Chains A and B, each alone.
Chain A
Amino acid sequence: MVDVGAASGGVWKSTDGTTTFQPVFDKQPVQSIGAITVDPTQRKIVWVGTGESWTRNSVSIGNGVYRSADGGETWQHMGLSESERITRILIHPADSNTVYVCAPGKLWSDSAERGLFKTSDGGQTWSQVLKGPNLSTGCGALSMDPKDPNVLFASLWDFRRQGWTFRSGGEGPTAKSGSGLFRTADGGATWTEVGLGAKGFGPKPFGRIEVEIAPSNPDIVYAVVESTRSALFRSSDGGTTWEERDRSQSMVWRPFYFSNLVVDPKNAERVFKMNLNLIVSDDGGKSFTGAGGSAHGDWHDLWIDPDNTQTILGGDDAGLWLSMNGGTLWHKNHNLPISQFYHVSVDDQSPYQVYGGLQDNTSWIGDSQYPGGISNSRWEALPGGDGFWVFSDPADPNYVYFESQGGALVRIHRKTLQQRDIQPKSDRAGEKLRFNWNAPLHLSPNEKGTLYIGAQFLFRTRDQGQTWERISPDLTTNDPAKQKQEQSGGITVDNSAAEQHTTIYSISESPVRPSMIWVGTDDGNVQLTVDGGDTWRNTAGAIKDVPKASWVSWVEASPHDADVAFVTLDRHTFGDMEPHAYMTRDAGKSWARIASKAQGVRGYAHVIKQDPVNANVLYLGTELGLFVSIDQGRHWAEFKGDNFPAVAVRDLVIHPRDHDLVVATHGRGIWIIDDLTPVRSLGPDVLGSEVAFVPGRAEIQQIQAFGGWPVGDAMFFGENPSGDIVINYFQKSRHLFGKLKLEVFDAEGKLVDTLPASKRRGMNRVSWAMRGKPPRVPMGATISFAATQGLRHLPGDYTLRMTKNGQVYERKIHIGMDPKATYSLEDRKAQHAAATEVQRLFERMSSLNDRIVGLRDQARSKAAGLPEADRQRKALLALGESADALRKKIVATTEGGAITGEERLREHTDALYAAIVFWEAVQGLTI
């Protein structure tokens, strides 16, 4: 059994040693996981702390602790709702009701629910047993003495992130900080600060401190301490005195992200430290060497098998890894779909491809469908960095635009993989272009080859990035107080572009009027030009009831009306986790709020899109899910589908040809809702009816394609859309009693199929394969494989008829040819006629075979009734044998299960049938 917590993708459980995983936390309202702990005495009791504690700029949020008593099948929320994030949960080894929760607390704002919490009644009540001196200090680390569970070390960590800065410790390297390391010997009743004095960690202030007691010798304790002299410390007397050990760069780098220590369960001198690369010391921390092999890096956690310490599971920014040789080499698990996308786009290929950029995992291009399923091998990685915006060049599909962090932009040739840096640079001395970590790149919806990128200025290229023009002044507040990233980090400076601020964050050129361009900035401006960039107007002041400087996470020009636009404001960087979405109908002169917590929308808002066909339909992505409105934001419904979790939705794109909604989640990969057409038809008339057929996209009979090959069970496969005709209908209530009959009639009114109807409440989809009955074939030793399939009916006009509780509902549909087909409808008719002729051959063969078998059996039966010496008996037996010999010329009859290779008339006919049925372009064939 293996439980895995994803940074923003829920909890996954494997019961087969990581070969396969199932998500077990998807019904819960948050998906960011900070800690998982299995009860040491009762395997089925699992505690989960929500909210990742490695507090990078893109980190999600949690809402407290959960407990499962049945191995993850059901969960109970156990409180600490305001903790936002949890680092570690430890359970008393002899008392399952005693549990400690280490909660750093809120990242973006002050809060009281942070520190170390303890329950003695299984989570019914909690007491805060260790708290910081201020409202920005929480628990950073926790370790329990394996021999005396009343002895614990816990660190306090003072930290805060804002949109433009971060601190671990105080406001600077020497500023006052609430951080420190503490020890209790009475289960948290009293605490003593350790690491002070001459044999301590050196002078305060401290930042993040990680602490770990060696499981095999609790006198040995390790602590990595962030300070102006960051280092690893080792105590050999249970934390009373400490000795400085390694203080290489690996102890300095990004303590807020890389502090975790894991000590070998058997060897107290072997300690792993999570770092950019995984490192390990075999001499108690005096020296370290790399242990990450060829794994991705940015490590966060390890589990070492206590029975065989060569077996290690590890988690880093690329997922889950397994080492069978103590961390020298690593095997990657390809079965956890927990990727964190920032953005997504699509191209116009058929089937289209999906393009998306991933947190710390570059950008990828993948198939939206592929015969046999979309395996990981159907995804192609582009080179380098964190991935953000990535587009196929609409002017030349041989190229893609690929953007990594800080606006780094290249144009890559898809086949040769040559790339050219096309990021605009400043040509003015001393001027710094401020590109956001997630700088916006925007393709013109009106002009191929035109794209925009935003720094503090808006840049436009009309020649695919060869040259750029600056088409705006600084559109931000240009607030110098928010431009001190070189001092960001608190004790340890950390200026990776993640805190770059006063930048343009969102761009949208009106699809209706190309001269209108909207720009949203991370410091609260919503700028509009109506003249292609000559003049600009900040419309943010017209957004009422929201504080200034709110992060404009999305701006979207309506595809229907030039005066209509939408913005989402993301205020989570100020501690406000509620959704804010606004709509203007007068080009920004006024804005009306259209999404709020009161409307049932949860989570801070990332993206809003208006349906390109039905202007009333809106799609909203927030940190906690996907929401849809069919009345321009007066009402919203959370879109759960079958199984969509409350994961962050960072970007949405509607495929203009196929009408699919492609969803970029930050934690659960790419999802596709096939065909939004039925959603567009939802209104009071449909929702008020008992049953209603609703239209789907234009139906085509897709070409038959074959692919895929076994790659084992430890592989994620994306599901394909239905290759059949999809029938959409709405039911007001679940159908429970009596037959729900769904019939298909051809243009002549002939019944061609009766389908198993879907019974769900709400929207239903049923796939119709368009196959008729398979031919009757003479029975042989084995099955006649191709003949198990019927012919596909021809494209054309059909009528759907549903009968429910005596009521009849009908809808006519037209099924066209697949544009990818290399044959005409006339070809199809010829193929259909040929296949029908083969079916007749099968029928004649079957009838003949029936008669022969009948004759054989009759002869044998009569012979059996005659005396052995009877002459007629011999003749009858001979007749039976002759008949059977004839049968054996028609069908293969050798039984036993071996590969007989026996080919008779039936087998040849089956091969002929297969050749015709599975290639529908047969021409000029006569039989």
Chain B
Amino acid sequence: MIRLRLIAGCCLLLSTSFAQAIDADELIRKNIDARGGMAAIKALKSVALTGKFRGGGGFEADYAERIGRPSLLRQEFSIQGMTQIQAYDGKEAWQISPFGGRKDPDKLPEDIRKSMETRADVEGPLVDYASKGHRVAYLGTEDVDGTEAHKLKVLLKNGNEMTYYFDPDFFLEIRVQSKEFVRGSEQESETDLGDYEQHGGVFFPTAIDSGAKGSSSDEKAKIEVTTIEVNVELDPAQFAFPANSPKS
């Protein structure tokens, strides 16, 4: 038994606008312009996000994320005064998962490090993609829930892949699919993006819904970003593997 979504099907009762053909570099240029332009993106030193995480069934957690140059990332999910941390300092990825009673930091394996490395790029992998060693290919258009979106494949230098879907009118990302390799096996995920807001001259999505590739909206976990600060001062120690275990 498969659930068929009512949602997008009814879009077809509306008139459809068609995306014009475009090449990969032009699409990326338009996306960068749509995000605020190269100068604004290059001026980004760091981003700090806070908000709410919602899983299924009304489960909620506080969410925080900081990303900074050259390659810093820290994500936090907090419940009942405990905070789960995943962080990357450009070299090592690590985590603290306190909910089961252990608050010591653990190193994360290379496969996860690669994934975090991509997310730690504050300007995104499309900016200067060639000099970063990524390759891109335009794959035409594809329907994303009633929007005929431009599709761009990005082969990351680290071997993982991302597929971007851009709104045909505004050229912002509305969906990103990731293909990552865990011990050689593919793992695919999908993130829907929306509610863009401009901060520091750059547009950021404030609605971030993530799940397995092809998952329904109900099946996706949702992050609602409530505050965005750009170019905040970041403490490098927050991203490095803790030298000493934190106090209880």
Contacts and interface: CB of A to CB of B under 8 A. Distances in A.
Contacts of A750: none
A643 B214 contact: yes
A774 B11 CA distance: 37
A628 B4 CA distance: 14
A760 B8 contact: yes
Interface residues of A, number: 91
Interface stretch (A458-466, A484-492, A731-739): A731-739
20 contacts: A27-B143, A74-B140, A641-B6, A673-B3, A679-B10, A723-B57, A732-B14, A738-B197, A740-B207, A759-B174, A761-B8, A761-B11, A762-B14, A765-B6, A765-B217, A767-B218, A784-B80, A788-B79, A893-B248, A900-B101
Nearest to B223: A756
Interface stretch (A228-236, A312-320, A385-393, A662-670): A662-670
B9 A769 contact: no
B184 to A, nearest CB: 10
Contact of B4 (A673, A763, A895): A673
A323 interface: no
A789 B1 contact: no
B101 to A, nearest CB: 4
Interface in A608-643: 628, 630, 635, 637-643
B3 A719 contact: yes
A337 B2 contact: yes
A508 to B, nearest CB: 25
Nearest to B206: A739
A643 B54 CA distance: 24
Given A637-B12, A738-B197, A756-B224, A718 B2 contact: yes
A91 interface: no
A740 B194 contact: yes
B33 to A, nearest CB: 15
A642 B101 contact: no
A896 B248 CA distance: 10
Nearest to A26: B214
A92 B81 CA distance: 64
Contacts of A728: 6
The 4 residue pairs across chains A and B that have the minimum distance between CB atoms: A771-B58, A762-B11, A897-B102, A769-B58
Interface string B183-227: 001101000101111000001001101000110111100101000
Contacts of A89: none
Interface in B117-150: 139-140, 142-143, 145-147
B30 to A, nearest CB: 14
Given A781-B101, A897-B102, A670 B1 contact: yes
B172 interface: yes
A6 interface: no
B7 A673 contact: no
A17 B213 CA distance: 19
Q: Which of B8, B139, B222 has the most CB of A within 10 A?
A: B8
Nearest to B13: A637
Contacts of A366: 1
A736 B2 CA distance: 29
A895 B142 CA distance: 50
A761 B209 CA distance: 16
Nearest to B181: A15
B170 interface: yes
Interface in A703-728: 718-724, 728
B6 A678 contact: yes
Interface string A667-684: 011111111101100100
Main secondary structure of the interface of A (DSSP, over half): loop
A756 B8 contact: no
B99 interface: yes
Contacts of A808: none
Given A767-B218, A771-B57, A783-B82, A641 B7 contact: yes
B103 interface: yes
Contact of A756 (B54, B59, B82, B103): B54
Interface in A319-358: 337, 354
A368 interface: yes
Q: Which of B12, B59, B222 has the most CB of A within 10 A?
A: B12
Contacts of A671: 1-4
A174 interface: no
A760 B6 contact: no
A893 B248 CA distance: 9
Given A641-B4, A765-B7, A771-B58, A779 B145 contact: no
A358 to B, nearest CB: 14
A830 interface: no
A607 B66 CA distance: 55
Given A374-B1, A737-B196, A682 B10 contact: yes
A682 B143 CA distance: 22
B207 A759 contact: yes
A307 to B, nearest CB: 18
A471 interface: no
Contact of B1 (A368, A735, A787): A368
Interface residues of B, number: 63
A763 B7 contact: yes
Contact of A774 (B60, B143, B170): B60
A777 B80 contact: yes
B9 A790 contact: no
B206 to A, nearest CB: 7
A894 interface: yes
Nearest to A370: B1
Contact of A789 (B12, B59, B163, B174): B59
Contacts of B142: 27
A919 interface: no
A764 interface: yes
A823 interface: no
Interface of A: 15-16, 22, 27, 70, 73-74, 337, 354, 366-368, 374, 628, 630, 635, 637-644, 661, 663, 668-676, 678-679, 682, 687, 718-724, 728, 730, 732, 734-740, 756-767, 769-771, 773-774, 776-777, 779, 781-784, 787-790, 893-898, 900
A663 B3 CA distance: 10
Given A366-B1, A738-B195, A783-B82, A637 B54 contact: no
Contact of A15 (B54, B101, B186, B192): B186
Contacts of B147: 734, 760-761
B10 A762 contact: yes
B103 A895 contact: yes
Given A16-B185, A22-B213, A897-B101, 5 more contacts: A641-B6, A760-B7, A783-B99, A895-B103, A898-B101
A15 B248 CA distance: 44
A916 to B, nearest CB: 16
Contacts of A767: 218
Contacts of A368: 1
B100 interface: yes
Contacts of A769: 56-58
Given A735-B194, A782-B101, A783-B82, A630 B4 contact: no
B4 A644 contact: yes
A349 to B, nearest CB: 15
A641 B100 CA distance: 40
A74 B58 contact: no
Contact of A644 (B9, B103, B170): B9
A896 B188 CA distance: 33
Contact of B145 (A721, A761, A789, A897): A761
Contacts of B3: 671-674, 718-721
B180 interface: no
A372 B47 CA distance: 38
A760 B12 contact: no
B3 to A, nearest CB: 4
A897 B102 CA distance: 5
Nearest to B151: A74
B167 interface: yes
A673 B195 CA distance: 28
Given A734-B167, A761-B147, A762-B10, A670 B195 contact: no
A644 B79 CA distance: 38
